[in-house]
Amino acid sequence: MFKGSLKVSSKKLFLMACFLFVALVLTSIFVFVIPQAKQEDPVLWENPERGCTVVLVGKKASVDESVMTTHTADCSICDWTWRHIPAEEHEPGSTRKIYHISQIRTWPPDVGLKWDKINENFTGVEIPQIPHTYAYHHGVFGYMNEHQLAMAESTIGCRRKMRNPTPSATVDITTLTLIAMERCKTAREAIKLIGSLAEKFGYGFHDSGEMLAVADPDEVWIFEIMPVGPLWTPKSGKPGAVWCAQRVPDDHVSVCPNESRIGEIDLNNSDYFMASPNIVSFAIEQGFYDQKSGKRFSWKKAYSPAETSAASSGGTRARLWRFFDLAAPSRGFSPETPNMDLPFSVKPDMLLSLEDVIDITRDKYQGTSFDTTVGLKGGPFSNPNYHPRPVRVEGNTYSTPRTISVNRAEYTTVTQCRDWLPGTIGGIVWLAFGAQDTSCYIPLYAGITEIPKSFSIGDHWVFNRESARWAFDYVDFHAQVVYSHAIQDIKKAQEKWERSAIRRVPAIDITARELHRQNSSLAATFLTDYCINNANKVIDAWWELGDELLVKYNHLSIYDTERRGRKNLPYPEWWLKEVIKYHKWQPRPKRK
């Protein structure tokens, strides 16, 4: 009887274990997936927390034949700190731990910043370490290593049933970029490594569909990856992710504004396409693609369809159209064209310079039907930042244009990869903290061995004058009050500090290359000293600029510090007329 009871108990325990497993999965789906789904308004297709614009420029589409990418990290609550990770030698048999790294989560400074806390999120998985890992710079993601491997990220989403927020998904997009920075020299190497890790260990947990621009001095690719659902386990024998990559032609430019960009694919053309082995079969299994339909397989239509256009979305999905409108105006792209019908890439009307790309990151649809400065929505001082998200009033939602440049940016990067220089000199990350329009791009060469300490500290909720980011937020805050006036002062500062740094690049390159011929460490020291000194000067200048804006536009006046005079801030007549009309003001009686 005892033995029989034991057998029954074992069966019960087994059934209970199965029940608990199913309950855990269902709970995970409810807790993690459903809240995310609520963020994806089917009308707006706008995730309020994750929105990043990525621009890609092929080497023959740029003025100096550098390969360029951009990344606007515009979360508004994410960690903005940066670190430099040095190259390192590793003992035979050592391992590399895998951590879950959230793009969004932060901790109070007195507890420890993000990169102090990730060790608490060990997944339990370790992979064999390689003998030598490369040096690189990273923020929320890995951006550039010493061999000029460069990356940029944009969240693109996926079908809800594909998400996998369970522990079976070991790797997320941040982790994948960091491992690629440590181990890869080229874009193709990085794509293959990232893809294989995601397939083997399962992708997702914190992340859904993601896009990476993966670049090196020769080429740039769009890489897109999706989870394969919460029921996946490593024991299934199936890939734990589905992914696809397409190369941007060398003489083309492209963009990813939180939308899947890869359409029909040709895996026989390995020079332009790479993919996971389940790219089509998984879509068929899940009912995303009907093989008998006679239609060619389209990656974006299968895994991340979004039927909208710049016009139909009221501008919330206008970034894709706007980029092509800026890069190739001769093509006459219409804002009425569905985004999924716009091309993967285009040949620009003119070759793009670094300054052109920076200007694109600051674009706010000026001069278009989506211009955010015109009329009441811009206020009396043509502020483009008043309505960065859809407006909800009395139960109704009103779309507002979502511009390339947004005031909620953590930082923006422009990476340059240049094949005519050694890797440590040829690669540059141009970093601008905070909102693009009021910030300043600062160069960080790939070969520097440290970055300013002020880059690695600070968060949104605690003001800190030791944090670089707060200097730029300080200027931005004062600019919002009288934007049309203050932005002119900011543009003068950008010309002085940003454009002069761009003009200095050839001279810095020559000096660094000569030192590199003598001794690579001499070049590293020179570049490190230059980048840190330049960054510190810019940060000091922006603190001073913030003080100047406070004094100059105090009390909504204009204070002339040189002449020690004051005058009233001029309001545009159209604005005054609207105020008079709204409040039904009556004019003073005219004197007889």
CA distances from 237 to 71, 167, 233, 569 (A): 35, 17, 8, 69
What is the chain's percent helix, strand, coil content, to nearest 5?
40, 20, 40
pLDDT tens-digit readout, 512-551 = 999 999 999 999 999 999 999 999 999 999 999 999 999 9
Backbone φ and ψ for 136, nearest 5 degrees, come out as -160, 165
Residues 6+ apart with CB under 8 A from 309: 317, 321, 335, 336, 337, 338, 339
Q: The dihedral of CA 106, 111, 115, 118: what is its sign?
A: negative
Q: What span, in angstroms and rounded, lies between the C-alpha atoms of 466 and 209?
A: 36
The one-letter amino acid code at 454 reads S
Residue 392, Cβ density class (10 Å: 0-12 exposed, 13-18 middle, ≥19 buried): exposed
Instruction: Give the integer Cα–Cα distance in Å for 310 and 318.
Output: 4
In eight-state DSSP terms, residue 591 is P
DSSP 143-160: EEETT--EEEEEE----G
What does the block give as tokens for 94? 């050592």
CB 96 within 8 A of CB 83: no
In angstroms, rounded to a whole number, what is the distance separating the alpha carbons of residues 541 and 534? 11
Give the pLDDT score at 109.
86
Low-confidence ranges of the chain (pLDDT < 50): 1-49
Looking at residue 112, its pLDDT comes to: 85
User: What tokens does 382 get?
Assistant: 């043509």
pLDDT (tens digit, 9 = 90+) per residue, 25-69? 444 443 333 333 333 333 233 444 457 999 999 999 999 999 999
Name the DSSP class of 412. Answer: E
Tell me if residue 482 falls in helix, strand or coil.
coil
* Dist. CA 228–CA 204, nearest whole Å: 8
Asked if 529 and 431 count as a contact pair (C-beta separation under 8 A), the reply is no
* pTM attached to this predicted model: 0.91
How far is C-alpha 67 from the geometric centre of its chain's CA atoms?
A: 17
Q: Minimal CA–CA distance to 220: which of 57, 420, 353, 412?
A: 57
